[in-house]
Chain A
Amino acid sequence: MRKPLKIKKRLVIASGKGGTGKTMISASLSHIWDSPVCVADVDVEEPNLHLFLNPDIQEDKKIFMKVPVINQEKCNLCGACSDICQFNVIAIMGKKTVIFPEMCHGCDGCFAVCPNDAIIAGKREIGVLSWGNVDKNAFVTGCLRIGEAMSPPLMKAVLEKADSLANGRDMIIDAPPGTSCPAMTAAASSDFILLVTEPTPFGLNDLRLAVEAFSVFGVKMGVVVNRSGIGDRSVYEYCNKSNLPIFAEIPFDINLAKAYSRGEIISSLPEYKTVFKDLAVRIKHCMN
């Protein structure tokens, strides 16, 4: 399992609903954290953290996934590969074995099952992994290739790179929205999950789903209510009833929205510094 001793603590910033402010909070926390951190953007479908942190990127690396290629000379059309494949990647069509590499999940079942050694390793580009620095912090991000359907393999590459760069530092992970495989991949093996929501029926509905999904990990969770002052009280009532601590409230403020739209880091604004400092202290307290 992924959990080398080199990393101090892993904080995952997640949400059910998109656009609640995950990236804004991740950028802000990394900016005011009292020790150097390793920041990882694993929302590889739509990575945004770099837009706010302006990292100094040292290297970009294309990431590939191993996919089957048929050696037609060795293949005797027995169909064992096509039978084991659960994802309809391989089909026997007439006198030829045809591969649809875009649909391959990388289970390697066809390689293992072929009696004729007729499958060779090909590759499919899934995206680009980039890493570098933001001041004292290490920074890692991934960018899914347009047209690529599967994000978890690239997310795992980002997390592995982050592990190797963390070097005794805490890790702040900006997760993708939702409650299905990509979000679960990000939240697995974390020490604390910070759920960002907004006080509306949409925010509540998706917060509930996220809590239900992430509770399998048995990790402590806390909530940030973003844009407080709009909407209704249902998110607060739910948190209260479910013993989910609200760690911070960030008021709805048109000036904040405008600063965000200019790409500014909110915790660098004097009026919001304290909110984020306090939030960081509460999170650290919970993780240790």
Chain B
Amino acid sequence: MYELTVISGKGGTGKTSIVGAFAHLASNHVMCDLDVDAANLHLLLAPEIKEQGAFYSGNIAIIDEEKCNNCGICKEMCKFDAILPPRHCEEQSDVAISLPISHVVDPVNCEGCGVCVHFCPQNAIDFPENYCGDWYISDTRFAPLVHARMSPGEENSGKLITFLRQTAVKVATQNNRDIIIYDGSPGIGCPVISSLTGTDMAVVVTEPTPSGLHDAKRILELCKHFSIAVAVIINKYDLNLENTGEIERFCADNYIKIAGKVPNNRIFVDAVVKGSVVTECGNETINIELQNIWNEVRTILTRVKK
């Protein structure tokens, strides 16, 4: 089984549109949206949910108002400024209906480290599991889709991503599918690292802008750091041919394969509006280019994993 992750460093370079096209062009595959922060792939694939569940990750501290004697040890020991004294809440609330009489945990800042729970002399702090969102296994017109909806503001822990990847592998195994295509998130931090480690290949979608170039270099270095095979797609390449040339030179100097270049075209936005993937929209030039790119990616993938 092959695992392929599509990432970009910079956001908005066209990752999800390209992943949508791959969903259409690939065969015998499973799709999986790992950009749980701002998941969009479902908007193109119109999933029909077959199975779902809640996802819990880590814990969150909650102070029991009755037991708390306001000694303040928790506040003193918290390294994340997540504990507010009662006075603070008073200042913050405009309508003081029921003011907390104890210290309170600010759930946005709480890291779930449990230090306050351990050191509270009154045993006044509960530490329940933290609900992060829901996961889904769906059918789509192309392939099964594994996706999730994270509760806004939640910690996008690598754990949810790892869980989704395990689920995708399970779905692929059960259905004898031989390739999993992941839609990754922007950046180079925790979620991206969890999306990359242990996969067979990364496809980096970039664009010929100063940000696109800068961020692609960083994500390519991250792939190197984790020794993951990589290919680059230059999207909207005709926006700035000079920058496109610079990306090509950078890739050549670093022995990085360019899987292809895609021109800037309104059809990508039109496809999103229609809820279609771009290769369903009948633009022959774009279709041929994307088919060539997919063939190239597929060839590299089979070569890196013998």
Binding site for B on A (CB under 8 A): 1, 16-20, 23, 45-46, 48, 51-52, 84, 86-87, 105-109, 112-113, 144, 146-151, 176-184, 188, 200-202, 205-206, 209-210, 212-214, 216, 230-232, 254, 257-258, 260-263
Contacts and interface: CB of A to CB of B under 8 A. Distances in A.
Interface of B: 8-13, 16, 37-40, 43, 58-59, 77, 79-81, 88, 108-109, 111-115, 118-119, 150, 152-156, 158, 185-193, 207-211, 214-215, 218, 221-222, 225-226, 236, 239-240, 243, 264, 266, 269, 272-273, 275
Contact of B275 (A16, A87, A148, A201): A201
B164 to A, nearest CB: 15
Contact of B113 (A86, A200, A201): A86
Main secondary structure on B side of the interface with A: loop
Given A17-B12, A20-B12, A107-B115, A209 B211 contact: no
10 contacts: A1-B88, A105-B113, A146-B221, A180-B150, A180-B153, A184-B153, A201-B43, A201-B275, A216-B108, A231-B273
A146 B225 contact: yes
Given A48-B10, A147-B193, 16 more contacts: A23-B211, A144-B188, A146-B222, A147-B222, A177-B37, A177-B187, A179-B38, A180-B156, A200-B273, A202-B16, A202-B40, A202-B43, A212-B152, A214-B153, A261-B240, A262-B240
A254 B190 CA distance: 35
A119 to B, nearest CB: 14
Contacts of B59: 86
Contacts of B77: 108, 112
A186 B199 CA distance: 31
B214 A205 contact: no
Contact of A151 (B189, B209, B239): B189
Contacts of A177: 11, 37-38, 186-187
B84 to A, nearest CB: 9
Contacts of A48: 10, 210-211, 214-215
B5 to A, nearest CB: 16
Nearest to B16: A202
B186 A46 contact: yes
A109 B118 contact: yes
B225 A147 contact: yes
A256 B257 CA distance: 30
B264 to A, nearest CB: 8
A258 B239 contact: yes
Given A112-B115, A178-B185, A201-B272, A52 B210 contact: yes
Contact of B239 (A17, A23, A150, A261): A261
A107 B119 CA distance: 13
Given A18-B38, A19-B10, A45 B113 contact: no
Contacts of B150: 179-180
B113 A107 contact: yes
Contacts of A86: 58-59, 112-114
Contact of A109 (B8, B113, B156): B113
